[in-house]
Amino acid sequence: MIDKNIFLRIINNLSDSIIENKELLNELDRPIGDSDHGSNMVRGFTEVKKKLENVKESDFSTILKTIAMALISTVGGASGPLYGTSFLKASGAVVGKEELDEKDIIAVYEAVIDGIKYRGKSDKGQKTMLDAIIPAYEAFKACVENGGDLKKASDEAQKAAAEGVEYTKTIIAIKGRASFLGERSIGHADPGATSSYIILKSIASVLNE
């Protein structure tokens, strides 16, 4: 179960992980974008940490909505509205919940993926964040269906996201700035898939503490 305490640790931890990886994310965005993915994300998650102070007594849904608004208003770039939409959809998936179990997390994944697909007019195999998030979701769900708990499923999700990032190196970008490069985008990992992996890895590490 994810209770309020664990939930707040997850949000703080994933924000810190993004902040620590600013240079890596900017570097990944250099060859196939405009070198700003790390800076964009750090702006967003610095604001998230600030806003979190004001809403930490609120319910999950309010907190996630506050995060969404912080990201939408500060990130800029394509990733801002996409991550903003993710947290907004997650917020809608946890209304009224005081604890989150495996099934709730599956519902959150589904809401997030639908939100990104809709907002980004994108799908897996296009060299975007979805190439980390969708395999993570599939691995999480498969693990839970085989009796795995939250820790195990989050670990499997994190591993699948890492493989998803590797996979983005092998494919052509169809969406976003990287798509301007066509075939020349091959050989480079997608920055957004990498930031999604960093977030999923940080969630798994809090759950395994």
Ligand X SMILES: Nc1ncnc2c1ncn2[C@@H]1O[C@H](COP(=O)(O)OP(=O)(O)O)[C@@H](O)[C@H]1O
Q: Residue numbers of the site for ligand X (CB under 6 A)?
A: 29, 33-34, 36-37, 40, 77-79, 82, 116, 120-122, 128-130, 175-177, 190-193
What's the closest the beta carbon of residue 168 comes to Mg ion, in angstroms? 15
95: left (phi over 0), alpha (psi -120 to 50) or beta: beta
What's the closest the beta carbon of residue 113 comes to ligand X, in angstroms? 10
List C-alpha distances in Å: 67 to 19, 47, 61, 151, 157.
Answer: 15, 8, 10, 24, 22
Nearer to Mg ion, 28 or 113 (CB): 28
Q: Which does 193 bind (CB under 5 to 8 A by kind): Mg ion, ligand X, none?
A: ligand X
Site string for Mg ion, 15-44 (x = CB under 5 A): --------------x---xx-xx-------
Nearest 5 degrees, angle CA 16-CA 197-CA 181?
Answer: 115
Rounded CA-CA distance 62/97 in Å is 11
Rounded CA-CA distance 177/137 in Å is 25
What's the closest the beta carbon of residue 76 comes to ligand X, in angstroms? 7
List contacts with Mg ion (CB under 5 A).
29, 33-34, 36-37
